[in-house]
Structure 1
């Protein structure tokens, strides 16, 4: 099935260029110029991936990302921005984006990241769509998680890390194993980014602690509290 893309970019030249190039690749593309139009378009049609510029008029990219995540919209989000600092990337991912690409970028890299996002399938044949460990439940079909009935507002990376640890069934997972499982982009495959995501995940899971750590072994789910 042809993937459906929503391009949200206020720079007209870049928007038209992306629309034409992605259409030539075989995608079904809708292109809009501001955040308000983006939310309207996402609500009116099925979208697989949103290419979301962070610096938008009317309604900023951060607000659009938060709104889509809060609504449980199934589309993957690839944020584009001229801000290239690591802190900006972390904030973008923490908002709920699946990937982050600083401007200026090479079209070949954008195309590769899109293919990676389109390939992702939250539910596969060998994985149950809903799994519970202790008082933590992950719904892989809806891409949601909760603890003791309390919804957890996790970013996609936080959810993927939690899912990877749950699937480890109590065994340790090293930082390198988590990088191999969760991070496809080689530019983001650093030990530091794993530590940031795990820190935020632990904070959101609350007390008693669920994600344990042992030097030399890595992280694991510990439901004993």
Structure 2
């Protein structure tokens, strides 16, 4: 359960008081991942699909015999930026289940959560231009690395606001579907938690996302193919 809360903030999770950079053109894709989740091998998939009226549906699903995770976001392009409209976060670990829903009401200027949300995170949160949910930061990292923009984000997710800042940690060669690719490595450190993402030029999502806790790997997603 703890691992689930970190994942999308990478960028999952893979977040600034300032508004995010203007949105670049995005296109639908399906990315398949080889994953390690809850200490076991798992299958992972990210999908971005058009929803009409400048809206997009973005999802992440991970599952193995022990646990499953599904995160979905609907967002729109508005005045050159991306902003979330609604999201869901469901998980199952053995017999324990969790289901949370979020609504981002830009007309009223607040975000609200329902479902299995802690009482201290159930109050509405005031929205600011540039706010994103955790899952959207995966797309923003790729956009901003390629554009050379600051990797700083204001994440409004799971009943809380969090400032996230990634630093470029050089370049590395990684394997993507058996092929060697040059990737830009970016790192976010938050106390004893760390998120590392590898961004490959031309790939719409990070080629690899690694979540660490107390210096140990918790979740590892590696792209095997992108369609």
| Same fold at TM > 0.5 | no
Structure of greater Rg: 1
Name whichever structure is richer in strand by fraction: 2
Which has the bigger relative contact order, CA under 8 A and spacing at least 6? 2
**Could you tell me the TM-score, scaled by structure 1's length?**
0.28
Name whichever structure is richer in helix by fraction: 1
**Could you tell me the TM-score, scaled by structure 2's length?**
0.28
